[in-house]
Amino acid sequence: MISAAARDALSGWLDAQAALKGSSKNTIDAYGRDVTEFLSFMTAYKGEAQGLGPLSALSVRDMRAWMAAVRSDGIGPRSLARKLSSVKSFMRWLADREGFDPTAVLSARSPKYQRKLPRPLAEDAARDMIAQVELQSQDGWIGARDSAVITLLYGCGLRISEALSLKGSDAPLSDALRIIGKGGKERIVPVVPVARRAVADYIRLCPWPTENDQPLFRGKRGGALSPRMVQKVTEAARLQLGLPASVTPHAMRHSFATHLLNSGGDLRAIQELLGHASLSTTQAYTGVDTARLLEVYDRTHPRASGGKG
């Protein structure tokens, strides 16, 4: 049982995350689950509901006990690192409000893990995937829909959530799309002709009307198309093509970035297209080496290029 004070504090922190950082609903929900589980553990571990006073007195030993319990549940290092990050953020915010020292919590070390990025497809394999996805349904409009979604991921570098957030008002697609990505960050993404044609073919075949305030991509019964359906059709297509399990919808976006870079695309421009907050993320995403990254830095950084300030 979580104390009323702790629950109120959690609610206040989540509101602050949504308002100040522009975190998405899914991210806020994940934060809430992580911290709720932490507070519930501390209640059971200590034998009583943890109000703000007991929370301010958490020790390194308490943190180790919680992390050991999480690991014993079969949670991997990456998920534990995310949970710990949520807890630290909450406790840092609470410490600022209540005036206590959160060092014991903040000193807990995040488990090391190797971040796994989806491997890019070869260019011909990416084209084969788009064609194969369309053949997975006997309903022509559903095949056209799935092909259009995958084409947007590969042709424009969209995330699944971004493609499925498109509304009827976005159609017909123009030469560029205004996308609101992670953290509410806005970017403009060019739309290649093949993507515009794929979406137009889907709209022409779709039995559901294109309405401005409704999702552009519809499920079989007319509701919003779910990410899980895109994942399932991608899995079926890659199995038929004999491609590895690393071929996922997100790998299509990853392939977009890698193929663009291999064709001479500028790393900084690719960063903007993907909506990455930092160039180092794009570096890891595309597997570009440090020398290439430094070349971009030298060309774009004000000091490196001779600018002042």
Provide the annotated active-site residues.
Answer: 159, 182, 250, 253, 276, 285
Q: Taking a C-beta distance cutoff of 8 angstroms, is the pair 201, 148 a contact?
A: yes
DSSP per-residue letters across 244-273: -TT--HHHHHHHHHHHHHHTT--HHHHHHH
DSSP per-residue letters across 206-256: -SS---TTSBSSB-TTSSBPPHHHHHHHHHHHHHHHT--TT--HHHHHHHH
124 alpha-carbon distance from chain centroid: 26
- Tell me the C-alpha distance between 121 and 254, whole Å: 8
CA distances from 227 to 150, 159, 164, 277, 304 (A): 11, 10, 8, 24, 43
DSSP tag of 178: E
What residues contact residue 148 under an 8 Å CB cut-off, 6+ apart?
A: 195, 198, 199, 201, 202, 217
What residues contact residue 177 under an 8 Å CB cut-off, 6+ apart?
A: 156, 166, 170, 188, 189, 191
Tokens encoding 159 = 């995330």
Give the CA angle between residues 23, 190, 160 to the nearest 5°: 45
DSSP tag of 24: -
- Tell me the C-alpha distance between 267 and 174, whole Å: 25
